């Protein structure tokens, strides 16, 4: 088979798609603007993405290198606000499947995946950049600037845009629509954490909610070599109250949380403090004539539930079999089988993200009224299993979260009696 697929970007979406295409015998060219390893944010993975790593023939490679690259075994998520603490163990989730994953430095992780795709026969051109994409003819015409600055064209059978925040096709083809989330920003860095608290669980991401502002939160993502990624997320208006450099603002906000600043009292910053804002994004359509959008090049919600890499890989896993069938002459229902299917899971994450920022998710998880049954269903989402239709919480997430929130907030229900599923299915 000599059909060529051109993939834009060698991040998790691009590398996964490339490996899956190579398994089906296609020639794959990846155009990647940067040289790897390069820094990327998004270090806490979800168990759901392990299944896709396996599908792409990459899981064994990642396992074999996990210790060397200080990937931290991760088995859950912990949430804290003031004295309130709760955690979720992925092993107790409703959906069957792996209950663990890793926390990774993305430069190393992404390079592993890209190298694995290359070992499977993908041609990756680092330092090359997409300039234009013309999809008006019978085959796409892609103009690329090579490392030496000269331009050249490729005429693949199909283009997969996995350019992440580069959002190449959304920009070039005018597909962008504003996200309906307010503009938020993250300030983050890596520290040598020197955490000595024996109760601290390195095997979980720790999400700390600001003591007074429910919509402001910190991530603390430990790696296995004593380092950790520490970042704060808030809306632009909140950050506008703080003056100084990124590091000064990061420190000033950290100081407002007694628990977190005590935990990190001995930590030392070991990387430049960076900022990223306005990352939530959406598009009119995830596919079109001769192209499909993967991962962040399509829709990106929010960092809070660490869903980005999982959605990126899931998009590749859904898209490639459809593309394969199309290239073999079948007519594909991209609208149902790609767009709606991928967005079904994203919509579940969206309901949780909305519940997070209006404070209702916090009211649920810190409430003494939850049942283990409901906790297991929520835990599945936290583990990334947003496409599991057997999970009642995935079928109508927004309404169910809202019903539970009402019960958790209702002070007339004084009993600590656990909520039952009947309470959530009026
Ligand atoms: C603050 C923050 C925290 C986050 N935390 C998490 C987390 O804990 N867990 C998680 O799963 N996700 C997290 N995410 C999301 C995560 O970063 C992304 O969802 C994920 O990296 C998307 O993968 P991707 O393959 O789509 O894109 P990327 O990983 O961004 O890869 C895209 C690649 O395309 C290349 N590219 C761009 N433009 C061009 C061009 N013109 N030509 C050629 N190549 C190009 C880039 O160099 C890049 O290598 C977070 C996001 C933010 C903003």
In sequence order, what are the residues at sequence separation of 6 or more whose Cβ sits closer than 8 angstroms to the Cβ of residue 141?
133, 134, 153, 154, 155
Classify 386 as helix, strand or coil. coil
Ligand 1 pocket, residue 12 CB under 6 Å: yes
**Ligand 1 atom index nearest CA of 129:** 42
Distance from the alpha carbon of residue 35 to the mean position of ligand 1, in angstroms = 14
- Phi, psi dihedral angles at 153 (to 5 degrees): -120, 155
Q: Which pairs count as long-range contacts for 245-248, CB under 8 Å and 24+ apart, including other chains? A: 245/273, 246/187, 246/273, 246/274, 246/275, 247/189, 247/273
Ligand 1 pocket, residue 34 CB under 6 Å: yes
Question: 370 or 7, which is more confident?
Answer: 7
| Cα-based angle 388, 393, 399 (whole degrees, multiple of 5) | 140
Q: What is the C-alpha to C-alpha distance for residues 207 and 100, in angstroms, rounded to an integer?
A: 18
**Token pair in block for residue 368:** 């003494």
- 425 pLDDT above the threshold of 80: no
Interval 80-95: pLDDT, tens: 999 999 999 999 999 9
Ligand 1 pocket, residue 131 CB under 6 Å: no
| Mean pLDDT of the region 24-45 | 98
- 391 pLDDT above the threshold of 90: yes
**Half-sphere exposure in the Cβ direction for 138 (13 Å, CA):** 0
Quote the pLDDT of residue 417: 44
**Ligand 1 atom index nearest CA of 279:** 53
**Token pair in block for residue 183:** 């503009």
In sequence order, what are the residues at sequence separation of 6 or more whose Cβ sits closer than 8 angstroms to the Cβ of residue 239?
185, 187, 249
Ligand 1 pocket, residue 298 CB under 6 Å: no
Interval 284-335: pLDDT, tens: 999 999 999 999 999 999 999 999 999 999 999 999 999 999 999 999 999 9
Classify 79 as helix, strand or coil. strand
Quote the pLDDT of residue 164: 97
| Mean pLDDT of the region 208-229 | 97
Quote the pLDDT of residue 2: 77
Quote the pLDDT of residue 1: 59
Average pLDDT, rounded, for the chain: 95
| Mean pLDDT of the region 232-247 | 97
- 126 pLDDT above the threshold of 80: yes
To the nearest whole percent, how much of the chain has pLDDT over 90? 93
Quote the pLDDT of residue 40: 97
Distance from the alpha carbon of residue 164 to the mean position of ligand 1, in angstroms = 5
| Mean pLDDT of the region 418-423 | 47
Distance from the alpha carbon of residue 406 to the mean position of ligand 1, in angstroms = 36
| Mean pLDDT of the region 264-293 | 97
Q: Using an 8 Å Cβ cutoff, are 294 and 315 in contact?
A: yes
Cis peptide, bond prior to residue 37, ω within 30 of zero: yes
**Token pair in block for residue 27:** 């020639």
- 342 pLDDT above the threshold of 50: yes
Domains and CATH numbers, the chain: 4-71+102-178+280-346 (3.50.50.60), 184-277 (3.30.9.100), 358-424 (no CATH)
Quote the pLDDT of residue 410: 84
Residue position matching structure tokens 């208006």: 237
Quote the pLDDT of residue 295: 98
Q: What is the C-alpha to C-alpha distance for residues 84 and 365, in angstroms, rounded to an integer?
A: 10
Distance from the alpha carbon of residue 41 to the mean position of ligand 1, in angstroms = 7
Q: What is the per-residue DSSP string for 12-26?
A: HHHHHHHHHHHHTT-
Quote the pLDDT of residue 415: 46
Ligand 1 pocket, residue 163 CB under 6 Å: yes
**How many other C-beta atoms are found inside a 10 Å radius of the C-beta of residue 235?**
17
Distance from the alpha carbon of residue 165 to the mean position of ligand 1, in angstroms = 6
Interval 49-86: pLDDT, tens: 999 999 999 999 999 999 999 999 999 999 999 999 99
- 162 pLDDT above the threshold of 90: yes
| Mean pLDDT of the region 28-42 | 98
Ligand 1 pocket, residue 189 CB under 6 Å: no
**Token pair in block for residue 395:** 């079928």
Give the pLDDT band of residue 413 (cuts 50, 70, 90): low
**Ligand 1 atom index nearest CA of 231:** 1
User: Which of 6, 154, 303 has most ligand 1 atoms within 8 Å of its beta carbon, as the pocket-test mutant?
Assistant: 303
| Mean pLDDT of the region 128-137 | 97
**Ligand 1 atom index nearest CA of 41:** 17
- 340 pLDDT above the threshold of 60: yes
Inter-CA distances, 18 with 22, 228, 294, 338, Å: 6, 30, 12, 17
- Phi, psi dihedral angles at 19 (to 5 degrees): -65, -40
| Mean pLDDT of the region 414-419 | 48
Quote the pLDDT of residue 316: 98
Give the pLDDT band of residue 426 (cuts 50, 70, 90): very low
Distance from the alpha carbon of residue 246 to the mean position of ligand 1, in angstroms = 21
Ligand 1 pocket, residue 279 CB under 6 Å: yes
Ligand 1 pocket, residue 309 CB under 6 Å: yes
Interval 168-211: pLDDT, tens: 999 999 999 999 999 999 999 999 999 999 999 999 999 999 99
Ligand 1 pocket, residue 14 CB under 6 Å: yes
Give the pLDDT band of residue 411 (cuts 50, 70, 90): confident
Give the pLDDT band of residue 412 (cuts 50, 70, 90): confident
């Amino acid at each position: 088979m000599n059909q060529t697929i051109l993939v834009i970007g060698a991040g998790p979406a691009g590398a996964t798609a490339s490996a899956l295409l190579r398994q089906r015998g296609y020639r794959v060219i990846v155009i990647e603007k940067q040289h790897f390893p390069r820094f990327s944010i998004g270090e806490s993975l979800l168990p759901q993405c392990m299944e896709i790593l396996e599908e792409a023939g990459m899981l064994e490679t990642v396992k074999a290198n996990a210790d060397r690259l200080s990937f931290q075994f991760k088995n859950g998520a912990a949430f804290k606000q003031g004295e309130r603490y709760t955690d979720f163990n992925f092993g107790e989730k409703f959906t069957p499947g792996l209950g663990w994953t890793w926390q990774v430095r993305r430069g190393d992780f992404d390079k592993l995946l890209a190298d694995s795709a290359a070992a499977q026969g993908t041609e990756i051109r680092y330092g090359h950049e997409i300039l234009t994409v013309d999809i008006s003819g019978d085959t796409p015409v892609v103009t690329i600037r090579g490392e030496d600055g000269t331009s050249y064209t490729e005429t693949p059978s199909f283009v997969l845009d996995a350019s992440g925040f580069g959002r190449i096709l959304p920009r070039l083809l005018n597909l962008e629509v504003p996200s309906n989330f307010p503009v938020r920003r993250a300030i983050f860095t890596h520290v040598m954490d020197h955490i000595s608290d024996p109760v601290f669980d390195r095997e979980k991401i720790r999400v700390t909610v600001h003591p007074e502002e429910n919509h402001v939160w910190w991530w603390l993502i430990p790696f296995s070599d004593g380092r950790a990624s520490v970042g704060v997320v808030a809306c632009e208006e909140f950050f506008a109250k703080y003056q100084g450099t990124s590091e000064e603002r990061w420190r000033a906000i950290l100081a407002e949380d007694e628990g977190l600043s005590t935990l990190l009292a001995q930590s030392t910053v070991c990387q430049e403090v960076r900022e990223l804002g306005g990352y939530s994004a959406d598009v009119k359509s995830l596919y079109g004539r001769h192209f499909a959008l993967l991962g962040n090049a399509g829709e990106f919600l929010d960092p809070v539930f660490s869903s980005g890499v999982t959605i990126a890989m899931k998009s590749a896993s859904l898209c490639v079999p459809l593309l394969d069938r199309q290239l073999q002459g079948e007519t594909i229902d991209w609208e149902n089988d790609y767009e709606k299917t991928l967005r079904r899971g994203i919509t579940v994450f969206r309901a949780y993200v909305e519940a997070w920022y209006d404070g209702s998710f916090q009211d649920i998880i810190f409430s003494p009224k939850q049942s283990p049954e409901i906790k297991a269903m929520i835990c599945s989402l936290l583990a990334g299993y947003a496409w599991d239709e057997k999970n009642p919480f995935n079928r109508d997430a927004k309404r169910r979260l809202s019903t539970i929130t009402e019960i958790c907030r209702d002070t007339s229900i004084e009993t600590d009696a656990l909520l039952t599923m009947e309470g959530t299915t009026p």
